[in-house]
């Protein structure tokens, strides 16, 4: 397994300029110190990804879940529940038989 020191010996997978370009695309205002720091951190991450990608998985079966867990659910049975009127009785505000909530993100009505 590679150590942090051995990862630094390889050529950088991402440059400071590339980090600056990504930051600009993401509309992030980063200082020079942050650009240098993130460039080093992202380079280390890409180095670890490269290590994982180099592992021979020829004989490894694909799996979506390595555990044998199965969802345990109850039968879907209709049971008594609140009426619409009962559900809305304690609501701060109801409109046309529905809960009224504040608009978010400037969505039109």
Which domain CATH number covers 38? 1.10.20.60
Query: For the chain, how many structural domains are there in total?
Result: 1
CA-to-CA distance for 99 and 87, rounded, in angstroms?
Answer: 9
Which residues pair with residue 94 across a beta bridge?
Answer: 99
Let me know: does 50 contact 13? Beta carbons within 8 Å: yes
Q: In 10 A of CB 47, how many CB atoms?
A: 18
Look at residue 9 and tell me whether its pLDDT is greater than 70. no
Let me know: does 20 contact 34? Beta carbons within 8 Å: no
Q: Tell me the pLDDT of the chain averaged across its residues.
A: 87
Look at residue 50 and tell me whether its pLDDT is greater than 80. yes
Considering the domain boundaries, does residue 65 fall inside one?
A: no
List, for residues 11-44, the tens digit of each pLDDT value.
788 999 999 999 999 999 999 999 999 999 999 9
Query: Against a cut of 0.85, is the pTM above it?
Result: no
48 lies in which domain range? 4-53
């Amino acid at each position: 397994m590679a150590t942090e020191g051995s990862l630094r010996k390889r050529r950088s997978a991402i440059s400071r300029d590339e980090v600056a370009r990504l930051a600009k695309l993401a509309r992030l205002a980063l200082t020079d110190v942050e650009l240098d720091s993130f460039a080093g951190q992202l380079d280390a991450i890409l180095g670890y990804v490269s290590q994982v990608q180099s592992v021979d998985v020829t004989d490894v079966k694909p799996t979506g879940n390595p555990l044998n867990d199965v969802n345990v659910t109850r039968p879907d049975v209709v049971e008594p529940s609140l009426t619409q009127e009962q559900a809305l009785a304690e609501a701060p505000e109801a409109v046309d038989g529905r809960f009224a909530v504040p608009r978010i993100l400037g969505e039109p009505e």
